[in-house]
Structure 1
């Protein structure tokens, strides 16, 4: 695949369809994630407008699309329009990265969290810890210590529409006691 940053993104659809076809032909059966071009932010709407054709290229219909919502998504209208286009088309989407601040603008994290919740779309706050180069504001915890939430981590885990309020245990782990094998014992 070619790079799909801010140059070369025009080939994202062809490259992604080709990659899906090759992986399925090689026997890869798990869920595939197609990350958006433009360093994940899809400011060109290449993924948004081409997702239907990419999804159709997967014979297993087991591809999910991932958008990174940073400075490009600084208003509720932009957030809801983007996510709604996928849900209305019945295409699987996850907000694969977002934060409450970023070097290229101030994403509307409240709109991201409420919109994903209302439409049944998943999200991942980004990242746990260890950023540098001016984006340390994205760290959820200080020094990789889960007991030391940053302001962004506090918002993501303990604010409105947060992880604590919206998370559900995956069905594969229910009733196992510690998650993992899914095996149950009776006695």
Structure 2
């Protein structure tokens, strides 16, 4: 959030550590989920978020920032979206997810229109934010390994912050009722800073509202958190209650009345808490920019501390195992394609399977093609490769476009094109497949006129 509550700089947050311990049960949801106080991946490996906020909805052309943020060492990016009530509407969710996956980043998607609701007259309600997510469901289902839904940014201002509890619980329930299984992130009231301790005191009600037990609470730390003791007390309260917590936004101590970012970083590292710094560039208050004009070669003082500091990104961030190949099996890292995803109305969801024998005549594979998201001029696709009756150590898939489509970016495969012909080869972590096992790769493409699924795919195994 670009608004810092310096007026509250003198407020001391009185945090009393609760003696009641609550351990949130492991989620039954697929993909990213909560286990105890931790965020874990589908394979059970902890994910400690080390990330950067990116104001995408205001700078939709700054797509190179995804790669730059990855290069800075982040494993997570929190992407600002809009419902259309105040900003947006963000109808490019498939492209955003594709950029996250292409750059091997966990994608925290957030609706920013809710900022300061109740105090900010133009703000959207959490219920309206939930409606936006439901409108995007076709683009989100099947992405549970990669995407976190942050329902609404700083959803309640300083006017009647107590309304946060019921409104947040209702929004979570609305998403679950509509079939979402994603890890959900919820921001605190008081413009995210919870200086009246509503989230700290009533978080249990919100966590209990989630039938999937798959919600993480998010605190934003600005001028209220100018002192180390306040930060430590707040973290301790959540630790004592056994609640999952991340620092979804924070700034830095550029003067004596601002946030003690060094304590946030060191305490988060010691406690295994995730954090996402605000923000890469483009703030109306440029003191919070990490780069000058989105240029990664021009880090600000804040940016240098976040990227290169002792507890910064390069020193503490670890890539999610879904991308680094540390999952239990190659196929477990592959998200399923939702049957309800948006596809070209003139095509079927996948091409026919086309087995092809390798030269030794014993190793085979098949491949299927699906359009998992589409928007004017662009689309996201996925190809699933399945080994035949024998294990394989590598695979190559080919297809030819009939309508002039082109592939621009890909992940989990090396993809090359020659005219209309496209060839995709496995990367180092997903080429070895047991008999009948499956791997997948994704890509972004462009189209005009018609976006038909290729008539046939070839699959060669080695």
The TM-score with structure 1 as length reference comes to 0.91
| Residues 252, 261 of structure 2: 8 Å contact kept | yes
Distance in 1 (CA, whole Å) between partners of 2:198 and 2:316 is 30
User: Any gaps of 5 or more consecutive residues in structure 2?
Assistant: 1-124, 127-154, 327-409, 414-426, 433-461
Q: RCO higher in 1 or 2 (8 Å CA, sep ≥ 6)?
A: 2
Alignment size in residue pairs = 184
Q: Where do 1:28-177 residues align within 5 Å?
A: 28-101=180-253, 105-132=257-284, 135-175=285-325
Distance in 1 (CA, whole Å) between partners of 2:279 and 2:218 is 15
Report how far residue 52 of structure 1 moved: 1.4
Distance in 2 (CA, whole Å) between partners of 1:115 and 1:44 is 22
1:185 to 419, 422, 431: 431
SS at match of 1:83: helix
| Residues 226, 256 of structure 2: 8 Å contact kept | no
Aligned-pair Cα RMSD in Å? 2.2
| Residues 156, 164 of structure 2: 8 Å contact kept | yes
Report how far residue 103 of structure 1 moved: 9.4
Distance in 2 (CA, whole Å) between partners of 1:29 and 1:164 is 31
Specify which structure has the higher proportion of helix: 1
Report how far residue 88 of structure 1 moved: 2.1
Distance in 2 (CA, whole Å) between partners of 1:103 and 1:74 is 10
| Regions of 4+ moved over 3 Å | 101-105, 178-183
| Residues 226, 253 of structure 2: 8 Å contact kept | no
SS at match of 1:94: strand
Distance in 2 (CA, whole Å) between partners of 1:57 and 1:96 is 21
| Residues 412, 430 of structure 2: 8 Å contact kept | no
Report how far residue 73 of structure 1 moved: 0.4
| Residues 71, 102 of structure 1: 8 Å contact kept | no
Query: Once structures 1 and 2 are overlaid, which stretch shifts more, 71-80 or 101-110?
Result: 101-110
Query: Once structures 1 and 2 are overlaid, which stretch shifts more, 99-108 or 78-87?
Result: 99-108
Specify which structure has the higher proportion of strand: 2
| Residues 101, 137 of structure 1: 8 Å contact kept | no
Distance in 1 (CA, whole Å) between partners of 2:292 and 2:317 is 23
Distance in 1 (CA, whole Å) between partners of 2:322 and 2:237 is 30
Report how far residue 91 of structure 1 moved: 1.1
